[in-house]
Amino acid sequence: MLYGIYVSHSNTPSAAGADASALQPVRAHSRRHSRSRLALLASLLLGTVLPNSVLAAEATPASDQVSDPALLKILVRKHVLTQAEADQVLKEAKTESAQNVPAAPQPRPAGASASAAAATPASVTTIPPDDGALHVTYVPEVVRKQLLDKAEADLEAKARKEGWLAPNVMPSWLEGLHLYGDVRVRYEGNFFPKGNDNTGAFPNFNSINTGSPYDVSSTNPNFAPQRNVDQDRNYFRLRARFGLDADLGDGFSTGLRIATGQDDQPVSENQTMGYANGGQGGDFSKYAIWIDRAYIKYAPWTGPNSLEVDVGRFDNPFFSTNLTWWSDIGFDGAAVKGSYEVFKGVTPFITGGAFPIFNTDLNFASNQPAKFESEDKWLYAAQVGSDFELNHSWKFKIAGAYYDFENVQGRLSAPCTVLSASDICNTDDLRPSYAQNGNTYMALRNIVATSANNFGTTSQYQYFGLASGFRELAVTGRMDFDRYAPFDIWATAEFVDNLAFDKNAIAASAVNNRGAITGTETTGPYAGGNKGYFANLNLGEPELKQRWNWNFGVGYRYVESDAVMDGFNDPDFGLGGTNLRGFTVVGNLALSKRVSTTVTWMSADSIAGPPYAVDVVMFDLNAKF
């Protein structure tokens, strides 16, 4: 219930001021009654009864009170009342206050004693307290302000929860949305030194496998598609990404991100400006936008003790470097991650998942009634590691991962007759759907020699698949030292070994990564390998949060031809892929809180096969929101 407020008067007024004093309780009651209506209004809107202390504040002396208009202004500002409604409430309160003031007391009869006169106001004009009345003589200003702020906060919280506050206030279901994005403009220069082999030694296997098969017969006068190894290139590139994350409550969330890209390659969202490809780009024409992320996440626990399940297309869930996985790559499939702090500063974690790499066309082969067996490709992966926080200055992280690629290795087809580039053999789908450079390749088709192809001397249309399987064992570590902040030091290292690599078996079928021909050999000895390592040292601010924050890093990598799948690692070093070694130097500088610039220099040389080297220089301007 709402309690009334009675303001008691313990001092008997003098005869001279008796009339005025007699009116004070009535006026206090009138003011109280008017303000209680406003308090009641706020209480009803909140769905609760305001405490006695809030109502008690209404009975303070007029000089110390918060006026009716002050409370009404709050209600108007919070869109509880319109200005017209507030004016009407104030008008009614003033009218009711005037009506409740009693008539002035009649003059005392002649000869009445002073003592009798003094007693009259108390008996006639004093309003007796109701049951449960609260007697308040004074409430300090600071307490009144706290009570008013509390009532205002409660009112706003209630309004937000029930969605009736105002149309210009964000509804609760929108509060879980997070919009973000970034734009990067880059100048890139590719500089080839003299000495690279430009005699046809670097077939572009990705171009062959994603287009028409290549006629490998000796009577074909045309080179296979070739990589550029001798002509410098300069161009501008653009990357734009826009994403949305939504908190769905109860541990669920979802996200969507779109991004640029001159094609659907997995490792780069770069769009070369002016580059005409697939009907987009060039001559100021528009560029394509791709779905880059689309996932549902369930994370019932977060923090040191965490559990997270991701399905869809999401960020790389594994702790790794660009040696094995490019930083922008998205994973398709499902992943589970969990961590648990067993001791203070020691938090083991585990990650696992299954990821479809390639799914066979329902109608493969489309040009014949009898269909071929599926050649679906999968990645099954698991990682175990731990975070160590020795003290506030030293932090370490180390993990071991096992990446098992299923059905990615090439296999010679059943004998098949190929009369044109449109013919299909049963292992054609084993060719990589996307690749960069460096992995060892083998011919996939077992083409039958007939009179139609001049007994194997013409029309030898061929596709190529990976000569090695891939079961990668990777060990990754990171060290952070921040005692002398902002001059933090951190180092990252990774080692990888492809356990499925069989050099002798590969040598019999490999068509690339061979050494120079000597003597009577028709092909040089196979020179590929299966190991790789990477080390990087950085100094500065790990995150560029303010203007003039900076960091600087230098790294070295050595990645043999078949240490990792070349389609998924760094697309910039050596122009992408494996069979490379060399240095990387990177510097970052913040121009503002959300704008930064990056300068990168990379120098790469081939490890096996014909000589190849390239220097890549990049200047980036980055903006994020």
Is there a domain that residue 147 lies in?
yes
Q: How confident is the model at residue 65 (pLDDT cuts 50, 70, 90)?
A: very low
**422 and 287: one domain?**
yes
Parent domain of 195: 178-624
In angstroms, the Cα distances linking 123 to 99, 119, 127 are 21, 7, 9
Cα 25 to Cα 6, 116, 127, 136, distances in angstroms: 8, 20, 7, 12
- What is the pLDDT confidence band of residue 360, given thresholds at 50, 70 and 90? very high
Same domain, yes or no: 399 and 313: yes
Whether residues 140 and 190 fall in one domain: no
Is residue 553 one of the residues assigned to a domain?
A: yes
The 10s digit of each residue's pLDDT in 597-624 is: 999 999 999 999 999 999 999 999 999 9
Please check the confidence at residue 107 and state whether its pLDDT lies above 90. Answer: no
Residue 124 has pLDDT above 60, yes or no: no
Same domain, yes or no: 19 and 151 = yes
- Read off the pLDDT of residues 538-590 as tens digits, 9 standing for 90 and up: 999 999 999 999 999 999 999 999 999 999 999 999 999 999 999 999 999 99
The residue ranking higher by pLDDT, 283 or 294, is 294
Of 165, 188, 214, which residue is a domain's last?
A: 165
pLDDT-based confidence at residue 596 (cuts at 50, 70, 90): very high
Instruction: Provide mean pLDDT across the span 334-346.
Output: 96
pLDDT on residue 23: 39
The whole-number average pLDDT for the span 31-42 is: 46
What are the Cα distances from residue 428, in Å, to 226, 404, 421, 575, 609? 21, 22, 12, 27, 26
386 and 349 Cβ atoms separated by less than 8 Å: yes
Report whether pLDDT(117) > 50. Answer: no
Residues 263 and 308 grouped into a single domain? yes
* Encoded amino acid at 217, one letter: S
Q: What is the structure's pLDDT at 109?
A: 52
**Percentage with pLDDT > 70 across the chain:** 77
**What's the pLDDT band for 29 if we cut at 50, 70, 90?**
very low
**Distance separating the N- and C-terminal Cα atoms of the chain:** 51
Domain count, the chain: 2
Mean pLDDT, rounded, for 111-139: 48
Is 172 among the domain residues? Answer: no
Residue type present at position 300 = P
Q: Tell me, what's the pLDDT at 36?
A: 46
Asked whether residue 150 falls in the same domain as residue 202, the answer is: no
Q: Is the pTM of this model over 0.85?
A: no
Task: Determine the distance from the C-alpha atom of residue 38 to the mean position of all C-alpha atoms in its chain, rounded to a whole number.
Answer: 47
- Phi, psi at residue 365, to the nearest 5°? -90, 140
User: Which of the residue ranges 7-11, 111-115, 162-166, 291-295 has the most confident prediction, judged by mean pLDDT?
Assistant: 291-295
How confident is residue 25, by pLDDT bands cut at 50, 70 and 90? Answer: very low
Q: Report, as an integer, the average pLDDT of 379-407.
A: 96
How far apart, in whole angstroms, are the C-alpha atoms of residue 164 and residue 554?
Answer: 56
88: enclosing H helix or E strand: helix 83-99
In a domain, 173, yes or no: no
pLDDT of residue 152: 76
| Percent over 90 (pLDDT), the chain | 61
| 100 occurs within a structural domain | yes
With CA atoms as reference, report the closest residue to 538 among 596, 606, 588.
588
Q: What count of other Cβ atoms lies within 10 Å of the Cβ of residue 571?
A: 22
62 vs 333: which has the higher pLDDT:
333
The string over 413-425, giving b where at least 16 C-beta atoms fall within 10 Å of a residue's C-beta and e elsewhere, is beeeebeeeebbb
User: Both 473 and 451 in a single domain?
Assistant: yes
More confident residue, 515 or 157: 515
What value does the mean pLDDT take over residues 19-24?
42
Tell me what the mean pLDDT of segment 31-57 comes to.
45
Residue 182 and residue 155 share a domain: no
pLDDT digits (tens, 9 = 90+) for 434-475: 999 999 999 999 999 998 889 888 999 999 999 999 999 999
Q: Which has the closest alpha carbon to 408: 440, 370, 449, 364?
A: 440
Q: State residue 121's pLDDT score.
A: 45
Specify the pLDDT at position 583. Answer: 98
Closest by CA to 523, choosing from 532, 515, 531, is: 515
Please state the rounded mean pLDDT for residues 75-101: 69
> Can you tell me the distance from the alpha carbon of 215 to that of 375, in angstroms, rounded to the nearest whole number?
24
pLDDT digits (tens, 9 = 90+) for 308-317: 999 999 999 9
Q: Are residues 468 and 603 in the same domain?
A: yes
Residue 274 in any domain: the answer is: yes
**What tens digit of pLDDT does each residue of 416-426 get?**
999 889 999 99
Partners of residue 350 on adjacent β-strands: 338, 384
pLDDT confidence band for 3 (50 / 70 / 90): very low
**What gap in Å lies between CA 80 and CA 160, rounded to an integer?**
11
Contacts of 277 (CB under 8 A, 6+ apart): 262, 263
